[in-house]
Amino acid sequence: MLLTLIAFPLVSEYRHFLLHCEYLVTELTLLRRNHTLSRPSEQRQLLEQSGKWPPFHEALHDHGLPDLKSCGVEVLQVNVGKVCNQTCSHCHVDAGPDRRESMSRETAEAVVRALRIANIPTLDITGGAPEMNPHFRFLVEEARKIGCRVIDRCNLTILMTPRYDELASFLATHRVEIVASLPCYLEDNCDRQRGDGVFRRSIDALRCLNQLGYGMPTAELPLTLVYNPVGPVLPSPQESLEADYRRELRDRYGVEFSQLYTITNMPISRYLDELVSSGSYDEYMTQLVTAFNPLTVSGVMCRTMLSVDWQGRLYDCDFNQMLELPIDAPSTPTIHDVDFAKIATRTIQTGRHCYGCTAAAGSSCQGSLTTAPPANRSR
């Protein structure tokens, strides 16, 4: 920090510097601010202590549904760390340039071993900015060698930083599917959530991906965009929003993409802080609980996913990972020693945050879960 102050005595100079290197915003993460909500236990307490909304399992039972159970592992979602070149306001990971958590080579090797032994068809790599992990390319190459489908959850701007200028070609060469965040096709809305300059760099990245064949009708390189609301509201219907994105991105920027996922913001970490500090927490939770849709429950992603953190610990999903709710297994195994047969039909750990996956049309890493019309929709 001292060095930063000497080199950049003015905040504006610092921001100018950041805009031209790999880091895009100056905000500190909750952890570096020593914020109460940087602690998962505090988040869990806030979510679970209130009697205003029924516990999630009660909502299931009220609709005649049993507790959530896993039905096998089709996707291994690996969160390789919390280091990121951005500090988006809604981030459920509390990721940013000031985080240091990053998966080791030894754990990355255990991930590849698990993919092979359990014959898991899909490796879904997330972060932070997963590409900033030094073993990202190892994971991709090894998973592709054993025939896995590989997904990179990419923030787009990382592709435009000089240090990663060959990354897009690497992803194309290895036929990696890209799922990329772009919360709006309007610059101001996008930058409000993700930081100054993010939208412009994202458009540059999308053009670069299109040139490599990503998102083009004739190529088999899928480029999925991810929308999440900028304010405390539920997403608009996925299908109509996809049509809006396609028209606006094509007309304004000549950008193509394969499909759009809408994802509901989860009341976790920085988004939880944003809700609390803006006085919208109660209203948002009430929206999620009121819009509970039993038709979404069979499709929630935790039923077919296993989530791995940067140290190899196991969770039912990335949200439970951030809340430090480990999988319900007698010896809480890690990716190094997991017995897949023993966790195949485990009971999923749920909490009130799960209303975020089951509200209205539902939400998952594969977008909405039904075509039911969402309540209180908005852009």
- List contacts with ligand SF4 (CB under 6 A): 84, 86-88, 91, 93, 95-96, 127-129, 155, 300-302, 316-317, 319-320, 348, 350, 353-354, 357
- Angle (CA) 9-11-13 rounded to 5° is 75
- The distance of closest approach from Cβ of residue 62 to ligand SF4 in the complex, given in angstroms and rounded to an integer, is 16
C-alpha span between 21 and 165 (Å, rounded): 12
Residue 88 vs 184, nearer CB to ligand SF4: 88
C-alpha span between 376 and 95 (Å, rounded): 29
- The distance of closest approach from Cβ of residue 218 to ligand SF4 in the complex, given in angstroms and rounded to an integer, is 29
- The distance of closest approach from Cβ of residue 359 to ligand SF4 in the complex, given in angstroms and rounded to an integer, is 11
- The distance of closest approach from Cβ of residue 100 to ligand SF4 in the complex, given in angstroms and rounded to an integer, is 14
- The distance of closest approach from Cβ of residue 102 to ligand SF4 in the complex, given in angstroms and rounded to an integer, is 13
Report the b/e string of 108-120 with b at 16+ CB within 10 A: bbbbbebbeebeb
Residue 142 vs 226, nearer CB to ligand SF4: 226
- The distance of closest approach from Cβ of residue 363 to ligand SF4 in the complex, given in angstroms and rounded to an integer, is 8
C-alpha span between 117 and 138 (Å, rounded): 18
Residue 48 vs 109, nearer CB to ligand SF4: 48
Residue type, 350: T
Residue 136 vs 319, nearer CB to ligand SF4: 319
Backbone angles phi, psi at 165, to 5 degrees: -70, -15
Residue 19 vs 219, nearer CB to ligand SF4: 19
- The distance of closest approach from Cβ of residue 61 to ligand SF4 in the complex, given in angstroms and rounded to an integer, is 15
Residue 239 vs 328, nearer CB to ligand SF4: 328
3-class DSSP state for residue 288? helix
Q: Judge contact between 304 and 370, C-beta under 8 A.
A: no
Residue 302 vs 338, nearer CB to ligand SF4: 302
C-alpha span between 205 and 227 (Å, rounded): 17
- The distance of closest approach from Cβ of residue 120 to ligand SF4 in the complex, given in angstroms and rounded to an integer, is 17
C-alpha span between 220 and 175 (Å, rounded): 8
Q: Return the C-alpha torsion angle 208, 105, 149, 68, nearest 10.
A: -120
Q: Judge contact between 158 and 132, C-beta under 8 A.
A: yes
Which whole-number Å values give the CA distances from 35 to 26, 28, 39, 115, 277, in the listed order? 16, 10, 8, 37, 12
Neighbours of 293 (CB within 10 A): 18
Residue 195 vs 215, nearer CB to ligand SF4: 195
